[in-house]
Amino acid sequence: MIDATTFKPKTVYVTYIAATPDRVWQALTDPVFTRQYFFGFAVDVEPKKGGAFFLRYPDGRVHISGKVMEWSPPRRFSCTWLVEGMKEFGELPECSVAYDIERAGEAVKLTMTESHSWEVPDAILAGGRSGWPAILSSLKSVLETGTPLSIKMEPPKEMMDAVQQAVAGKPWLK
């Protein structure tokens, strides 16, 4: 069993949202919300430490799977994260994603931290680094205006090449 608490943060995104911590928590853990801002994916999470975590396509197939590492409403939600829904990504080691929610004056500070167990090439990190700003900008819009910003995005070509290379060489085993 891997210890995901030792993973190193590689991508951090911070946004401040005019909402309560409870509303931000709900937006992160309720499928009705995530479908609006998370490229159409529905979160499906067993609300306890060790519980199962999924992000599902609209037809129910699994895009991301993981285990809940921390479930502390409405402050911190973290889970392991394995991309199953994209070719070859499922052979990469899993990473972890943590959401921290803190009060900041009359707003809420939301911090997303994506952490990894190995020296991930920037070309692979580029996927999250392009995706998270779109996802979390849209989450903020949903909470503040009621309407998401549905940004269209393709996985970066260099990322797909880098994933193929990594899967072939398996540098995390060295």
Partner 1 sequence: MSKPKFVYVTYIRTTPEKLWAALTDPQTIRKFWFGITAESDFKPGSPWCLKFEDGRTADTGEILEAVPHKRLVIRWRNEFKPELKAEGYSRCTMEIEMADYYPDFGGKAAKLTIHHEVEGEGGGRFIDAVSGGWPKVLSNLKSLLETGDVAFQR
Report the interface residues with partner 1, using CB under 8 A: 14-18, 36, 104-107, 129-130, 133-134, 137-138, 140-141, 144-145, 147-153
Smallest distance, Å, CB 3 to partner 1? 26
Q: Which residue, 40 or 90, has its beta carbon nearer to partner 1?
A: 40
Smallest distance, Å, CB 144 to partner 1? 5
My answer on whether omega of the bond before 74 falls inside 30° of 0, hence cis, is: yes
Q: Which residue, 13 or 118, has its beta carbon nearer to partner 1?
A: 13
Q: Which residue, 28 or 82, has its beta carbon nearer to partner 1?
A: 28
Cα separation values, 72 from 54, 107, 138, 173, Å: 18, 19, 24, 33
Smallest distance, Å, CB 13 to partner 1? 8
Smallest distance, Å, CB 36 to partner 1? 8
What's the CA gap between 58 and 16, in Å, rounded? Answer: 28
Q: Which residue, 37 or 53, has its beta carbon nearer to partner 1?
A: 37
Of 131, 163, 113, whose CA–CA distance to 10 is shortest? 113
Buried/exposed code over 29-64 (b: 16+ C-beta within 10 A; e: otherwise)? bebebbbbbbbebbbbbeeeeeeebbbbeeeeebbb
